[in-house]
Amino acid sequence: MPELVRVRFAPSPTGALHTGGARTALFNYLFAKRNGGTLVLRSEDTDAERSSREHEASIAADLRWLGLGWDEGPEVGGPYGPYRQTERQDRYALAIARLVEIEAVYPCYCTPEELEAERAAQERRGEAPKYSGKCRALTAVQRTGLEAAGRVPALRFAMPAREIYVEDLIRGSVHFPAGTLGDFIVLRPNKTPTYNFAVVVDDSDMAITHVIRADEHLPNTPRQVALFEALERPLPLFAHVSMILAPDHRKLSKRHGARPIAEYREEGFLPEALVNYLALLGWSPGDDREFFTLEELAQMFSLERASKSPAVFDEGKLRWFNAHYLRAKPLPERAELFEQAARDAAGASMQADEGWWQRFAAAVSDHVEVLSDVPREVAALQAEEISWSPDTDVELASAPVRELLAELLALAQSDRKDRFAGVVSKDGLKALGEKYGLKGRSLFRPLRLAVTGSEHGIELPLLLPLLGAPRVARRIASSLQRSTTGRRE
């Protein structure tokens, strides 16, 4: 382990932060914290057409929402800046000059059409596509002629004719035989650097000691190792974390199943739940424990417990985690979250005092997995018209049930609110049921159907005070009228 650990998270600001990127950022954050190191946020913004400062800002906002701060980066600064690739052209120019000086690169005049034809021919022969290297052998006269014809060259790095081993902290020794990788472009015809080149210069300049990233980058690593060696710069240690799969076991990606972190935030997931779940995708604490704070994760995290095997992203399990974190919050805090979620949703606002929201939170917590579920529960309480179960008419047909409902209706309509409050407690409902020979299921099922139209839901001693006497009265009157009309028909 280097004396000073320095890691980086280097997203391309071409869109929103998705789950895979967030997991990579989390692992870098945890590794830095565990080892007293530094986390660098770097913006790989060389894709001029797709990159934007707006995307960069949204990625930063999502990281902050997750609780993943960084020590150096855009807007924060630091001793190894600038931290945007578009602001580092002078650094790339120096590195290119060195590669030219040692003849590690050569101009390539191939057009995209020629390269595509070469690739197609290799595939027809059953060969792995790679650049043939034909521009390597061009003479000075041939190069001059091509440039006179209007061809603007790219610069290709000449891969050494030897095998390359990558010692990966998660996957062990990975072998890339000689000749399997073709020469690759480091500088495009428009003088912009490619990913494999820029990342080597950046990681070297910023003294990055550990590169922790998704395993989709593993095939790039031998190219980067060769560049580090050509530039005579020290190699970082590499750790390629396991792939995340969708439930159908296809790779989770922006095009297949991966959702932006901002969507989870808008839907009402808690950052601590999302962080906890992401940490367990490709890492294990070594026991059966599942719930960790960010601070606990930072104390326990190690690459030795990172898995080589792909992890499956299960949104149902994530919702389960979120429900746990919601229910673990103190009731006043949970009530505040529920109230805000209801007021933020169109048509789901309610004029109620703090006490009502706390009773509401206590009553519906078992029915809420994410905060976006809250407006549904509020709407069910607010509704003046309710849907009726097919069994409602039958359940409300008996004389004892109708008499009980009639008395409860009268109490709800009474000017004495204490009388209604007294009867809707658990003991009060039982006493009222005994008066008419009703108890257990024969009491609570028809009563629930009368006030909700459904057989399941919040416990009645919690539900009835939440509905309030006026709404209970209207719903009972409507159910009695409906059941009477149904019997006549």
Distance of CA 17 to the CA centre of its chain: 8
Predicted confidence (pLDDT) per residue in 434-448, tens digit: 999 999 999 999 999
Q: How many distinct helices (H) and strands (E) make up the chain? A: 21, 11
pLDDT confidence of residue 394: 79
Q: Which two tokens stand for residue 121?
A: 């021919």
pLDDT confidence of residue 480: 87
pLDDT confidence of residue 382: 84
Predicted confidence (pLDDT) per residue in 114-145, tens digit: 999 999 999 999 998 999 999 999 999 999 99
Higher per-residue pLDDT: 1 or 76: 76
H/E run at residue 209: none
Antiparallel, parallel or unpaired: β 164-168 and 184-187: unpaired
The percent of residues above 90 in pLDDT, for the chain, comes to: 80
* CA quadruple 136, 142, 148, 150: dihedral sign: negative
pTM, two decimals, is 0.91
Say if residue 348's pLDDT is above 90.
Answer: no
H/E run at residue 175: strand 172-176
* Residue positions annotated with a catalytic role: 254
Say if residue 423's pLDDT is above 80.
Answer: yes
Say if residue 408's pLDDT is above 60.
Answer: yes
**Average pLDDT estimate for 225-238:** 97
Antiparallel, parallel or unpaired: β 6-9 and 38-41: parallel
DSSP class of 138: -
DSSP class of 387: -
**Average pLDDT estimate for 395-424:** 89
- Upper half-sphere CA count for residue 146 (Cβ side, 13 Å): 16
Q: Which residues on neighbouring strands pair with residue 210, listed in sequence order?
A: 7, 237
Which residue has 């002078």 as its token pair? 90
- Which pLDDT band, with edges at 50, 70 and 90, does 173 fall under? very high
3-state secondary structure of 24: helix
Question: Which of 336, 323, 401, 306 lies closest to 367 in space, CA to CA?
Answer: 323
Higher per-residue pLDDT: 324 or 485: 324
* CA quadruple 252, 255, 260, 263: dihedral sign: negative
Predicted confidence (pLDDT) per residue in 464-487, tens digit: 999 999 999 999 998 888 777 655
pLDDT confidence of residue 174: 95
Question: What span, in angstroms and rounded, lies between the C-alpha atoms of 363 and 348?
Answer: 17
Question: What span, in angstroms and rounded, lies between the C-alpha atoms of 131 and 218?
Answer: 19
pLDDT confidence of residue 346: 61
Q: Rounded to whole angstroms, what are the CA distances from 374 to 133, 228, 384? A: 62, 54, 18
- Which pLDDT band, with edges at 50, 70 and 90, does 488 fall under? very low
Contact, 245 vs 257, CB < 8 A? Answer: no
Say if residue 347's pLDDT is above 90.
Answer: no
Q: Which two tokens stand for residue 267?
A: 């839907």
- Which pLDDT band, with edges at 50, 70 and 90, does 102 fall under? very high
pLDDT confidence of residue 419: 86
Predicted confidence (pLDDT) per residue in 262-273, tens digit: 999 999 999 999
Question: What span, in angstroms and rounded, lies between the C-alpha atoms of 298 and 394?
Answer: 59
- Which pLDDT band, with edges at 50, 70 and 90, does 1 fall under? low
Say if residue 351's pLDDT is above 70.
Answer: no
Antiparallel, parallel or unpaired: β 172-176 and 184-187: unpaired
Say if residue 404's pLDDT is above 60.
Answer: yes
Cis-peptide, bond into residue 82, ω within 30° of zero: yes
pLDDT confidence of residue 214: 94
In the chain the first and final C-alpha atoms are separated, in Å, by 83
Count of positions (residues) in the chain: 489
Predicted confidence (pLDDT) per residue in 284-320, tens digit: 998 889 999 999 999 999 999 999 999 999 999 999 9
Q: Which two tokens stand for residue 440?
A: 């257990």
Which residue has 């914290």 as its token pair? 33
